[in-house]
Amino acid sequence: MWLGWTPRPFFFTLLIAFVPLLILEDELRRKNKSAWWILFYNYLAFLFWNLFCTWWVGNTYYGTQDISSVIAGLFANIANPLLMSIPIFLYLRTKRKLGWKMGLISLPLYWMCLEWLHLNWDLAWPWLNLGNGLAQYPQVIQWYEYTGTFGGSLWIWLCNILIYYFFFNTNCETKKIRKWIYTSCIIFIPMVISFVISVFYTEYKDSDSPGKNIVVVQPNIDPYNTKFDFSTLGDQLDELLKLSAEKADANTDYIVWPETAIPQGIWLNEIDSNKIILKIRNFLRAYPNAKLITGISAFKYYEAQPTVTARRFSDGSGYYDAFNSAIQLDSTSKYQLYHKSKLVVGVESVPYPAIFHYLEPILVKFGGISVSLGSQKNRSVFFADDSTGIAPVICFESVFGEYCNEYVQRGANFIFIMTNDGWWGNSAGHIQHEHYASLRAIETRRCIARSANTGTSCFINSRGDISDEITYWKPAVIKKWLPVLTEETFYVKHGDYIAHIALILSALIYISTFFFKKKPEAE
pLDDT digits (tens, 9 = 90+) for 104-117: 999 999 999 999 99
Task: Name the phi and psi angles at 50, rounded to 5.
Answer: -65, -45
The pLDDT of residue 67 is 65
Q: How far apart are CA 106 and CA 109, in angstroms?
A: 5
Neighbours of 423 (CB within 10 A): 23
Confidence of residue 61 (pLDDT cuts 50, 70, 90): low
Q: Is the pLDDT of residue 365 over 70?
A: no
**Average of per-residue pLDDT across 190-194:** 96
Q: What pTM did the predictor assign?
A: 0.93
pLDDT digits (tens, 9 = 90+) for 421-454: 988 888 999 999 999 999 999 999 999 999 999 8
The letter for the amino acid at 460 is I
Q: How far apart are CA 452 and CA 456, in angstroms?
A: 6
Confidence of residue 66 (pLDDT cuts 50, 70, 90): low
**Average of per-residue pLDDT across 228-255:** 96
Select the CATH number that applies to the domain covering 211-341+376-486 from these four: 1.20.1250.20, 3.30.70.270, 3.40.309.10, 3.60.110.10. Answer: 3.60.110.10
Q: What is the mean pLDDT of the chain?
A: 91
Q: Helix count (H) and strand count (E) of the chain? A: 16, 14
The pLDDT of residue 173 is 75
pLDDT digits (tens, 9 = 90+) for 312-364: 888 888 999 999 999 999 999 999 999 999 999 878 888 876 666 666 555 55
The pLDDT of residue 336 is 98
pLDDT digits (tens, 9 = 90+) for 264-307: 899 999 999 999 999 999 999 999 999 999 999 999 999 887 88
The pLDDT of residue 356 is 65
The letter for the amino acid at 282 is N
- Residue ranges matching CATH 3.60.110.10 in the chain: 211-341+376-486
Neighbours of 278 (CB within 10 A): 13
The pLDDT of residue 446 is 97
**Average of per-residue pLDDT across 256-266:** 95
Neighbours of 2 (CB within 10 A): 15
**Average of per-residue pLDDT across 477-489:** 96
Contact by Cβ (8 Å): 56, 425: yes
Neighbours of 405 (CB within 10 A): 25
